[in-house]
């Protein structure tokens, strides 16, 4: 771990200025990922700008009928917030499927978007990794890649984005609010994270120095028919092999609108609006779900240890859509969605 200096900001402008005035500075909120990365020598900031005194921890209704989640509200406070539970239960469920209670108590909403991949090679500084050290090569391709991507990969990187919360945020079409040296702007959630291409060291579309201040959830929360299904190698405290955020607007048994996002399969929450469009007007049946699953995984490919994810993702989509349609837990769902 490098020596570093630390300061805490009390206003957003100060935070942005403070970061800009240091070389290799980083913002720190809950620190649940950054501190690990620093201990592993993956991140070596020389200055940390502490954010926890910024007035960004609130969750409140916004004028457009949606909900604004402060960037510094913790994952736990967000998941258990009455408005989130009532209007955006998909988001609650996704947050609670992630990490552990201890981590969720520390982790902030802004930080959740900023967390980095859990690729083994990214974390181990003795191995080449284009994300950690651009141009050094990708060790996961041809290596051990059980937890790696099957969609949107490149020759430079097959890492996945690890968040659960973000998969639900993608499905719900949240908007990211940011402040930076050149003022404030908003970024549509789908545009926030990026695919690796030939620059896998860049995770997202934030410009230098920009700070996430909040997330806006649109009014429509799909609170009647939704499911966040996470498949993993143990029941808690494990990243998703495959996860599915499914949200449906049903009229009788007909799908009026569908949202579908996958986690654990790509460098960003994976959405395909063509698939969602194709679901419109279709009956909510297993056959419809299977077709959607097949379409969603078109172009997916495995890299050896993760070949199974293609089939697993299809089956998970079918199950999640079924769960969203029926909104009742079968015997197996009790285990799958237990979210301890």
Partner 1 sequence: MSQYTNYIGKPTNRVDGPAKVTGAAKYAAEFNVPNLAYGVVVSSPIAKGRIVKVYSKPVLKIAGVLAVFSHENVPNLAWFDRNYKDDVAPGGSPFRPLHEDKIMFNQQPIALVVAETFEVARYAASILEIEYEEEDHETDIELKRAEGFMPGRGKSGWMPPPPPRGKPDKEWKKAAHRIEHEYIHGTQHHNPMELFATTTEYHPDGTITAYDKTQGVYNCQQYISKIFGLSKSEARVVTQYMGGGFGSGLRPQYSLFMSVMAALELKRSVRVSLTRQQMFSFGHRPYTLQYMKLGTNPDGTLAALQHHALHETSRFEEYTENVVNWSGMLYQCDNVKLGYQLAEIDVFTPQDMRAPGAATGSIALEIAMDEMAFEAGLDPVDFRIRNYAETDQNMSKPFSSKRLRDCYHQGASKFGWDRRNPRPRSMREGNMLVGWGMAGGVWDASQKKAAAKASLSGDGKLLVTSATGDIGTGTYTIMTQIAAEYLGLPIEAVTFKLGDTDMPEAPVEGGSWTAASVGTAVKNVCEELGKKLLKQAQKMKGSPLKKATFDEVEFVNGQIRLRLDPNQAVVIRDVLQASGKDKLEAETSATPNLLKQSTHSMHSHNAVFVEVKVDEDLGTIHVTRVVNAVAAGRILNTKTARSQVLGSVVWGISMALMEETVMDHKFGRYMNHNLSEYHIPVNADIHDIQVVFVEEEDEIVNPLGVKGIGEVGLLGVAAAVSNAVFHATGKRVRSLPIYLDKLL
Smaller CB separation from partner 1, 126 or 299: 126
Q: What single string gives the DSSP state of each residue in 85-97?
A: HHH-HHHHHHHHT
Which CB atom, from 44 or from 256, has the smaller least distance to partner 1? 44
Residue 196 CB, nearest approach to partner 1 (Å): 20
Two tokens at 244? 């599915």
Residue 116 is given by DSSP the state P
User: 306: how many CB neighbours lie within 10 A of its CB?
Assistant: 24
Shortest CB 30 distance to partner 1, Å: 16
* Minimum CB–partner distance for residue 53 and partner 1 (Å): 25
Minimum gap (Å) between residue 310 Cβ and partner 1: 10
Q: Please name the residue that has the structure tokens 């994976």.
A: 270
Tokens of 322: 């079924």
* Residue 217 or 231 with smaller CB distance to partner 1: 231
- Chain positions contacting partner 1, by CB under 8 A: 1-3, 41, 118, 120-121, 123-124, 126-127, 139, 142-144, 146-147, 231, 233-238, 241, 308, 311-312, 315-316, 318-319, 330-332, 335-336, 338, 340
Q: CB nearer to partner 1: give 133 or 311.
A: 311
Angle between helices 286-296 and 308-326 (to 10 degrees): 140
Least distance (Å) between residue 81 CB and partner 1? 24
**What single DSSP character describes residue 46?**
S
Q: Rounded to whole angstroms, how far apart are CA atoms 250 and 326?
A: 11
Total residues belonging to the chain? 340
- Give the helix ranges, DSSP H, for 128-267: 165-171, 189-192
Q: Which residues contact 35 (CB under 8 A, 6 or more apart)?
A: none
Nearer to partner 1, 63 or 126 (CB): 126
Q: Which residue has the tokens 């990490």?
A: 99
Residue closer to partner 1, measured from CB, 22 or 118: 118
The minimum distance between CB 240 and partner 1, in angstroms, equals 12
CB atoms within 10 A of CB 182: 11
Of 76 and 312, which CB lies nearer to partner 1 in the complex structure? 312
Question: Shortest distance, CB of residue 158 to partner 1, whole angstroms?
Answer: 14
* DSSP calls for 233-283: SSSSSS--SEEEEEEEEEETTEEEEEEEEEESSSSS-EE-HHHHHHHTT-B
What is the nearest approach in angstroms of partner 1 to the Cβ of residue 127?
A: 6
Output 1 or 11, the one with its CB closest to partner 1.
1
């Amino acid at each position: 771990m490098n020596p570093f200096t630390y300061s805490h900001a009390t206003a957003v402008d100060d935070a942005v200025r403070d970061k800009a005035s240091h070389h290799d500075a980083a913002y720190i909120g809950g620190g649940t990922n950054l501190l690990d990365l620093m201990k592993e020598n993956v991140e070596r900031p020389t200055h940390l700008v502490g954010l926890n005194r910024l007035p960004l921890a609130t969750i409140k209704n916004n004028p457009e009928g949606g909900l604004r989640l402060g960037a510094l509200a913790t994952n736990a406070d967000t998941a258990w917030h009455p408005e989130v539970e009532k209007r955006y239960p998909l988001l609650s469920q996704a947050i609670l499927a992630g990490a552990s209670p201890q981590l969720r108590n520390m982790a902030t909403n802004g930080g959740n978007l900023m967390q980095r991949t859990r690729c083994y090679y990214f974390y181990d500084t003795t191995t080449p990794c284009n994300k950690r050290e651009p141009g050094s090569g990708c060790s996961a391709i041809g290596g051990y890649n059980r937890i790696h991507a099957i969609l949107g990969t490149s020759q430079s990187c097959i890492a996945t984005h690890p968040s659960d919360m973000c998969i639900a945020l993608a499905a719900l079409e949240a908007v990211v609010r940011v402040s930076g040296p050149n003022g404030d702007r908003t970024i549509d959630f789908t545009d926030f994270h990026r695919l690796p291409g030939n620059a896998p060291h860049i995770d997202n579309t934030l410009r230098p120095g920009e700070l996430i201040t909040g997330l806006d959830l649109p009014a429509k929360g799909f609170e009647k028919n939704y499911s966040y299904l996470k498949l993993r190698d143990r029941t808690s405290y494990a990243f998703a092999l495959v996860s599915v955020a499914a949200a449906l607007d049903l009229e009788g048994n007909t799908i009026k609108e569908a949202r579908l996002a996958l986690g654990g399969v790509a460098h960003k929450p994976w959405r395909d609006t063509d698939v969602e469009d194709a679901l419109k007007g279709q009956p909510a049946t297993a056959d419809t779900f299977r077709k959607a699953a097949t379409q969603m995984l078109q172009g997916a490919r495995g890299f050896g240890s993760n070949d199974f994810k293609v089939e697993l993702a299809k089956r998970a989509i079918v199950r999640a859509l079924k769960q969203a349609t029926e909104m009742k837990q079968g015997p197996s769902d009790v285990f799958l969605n237990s979210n301890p």
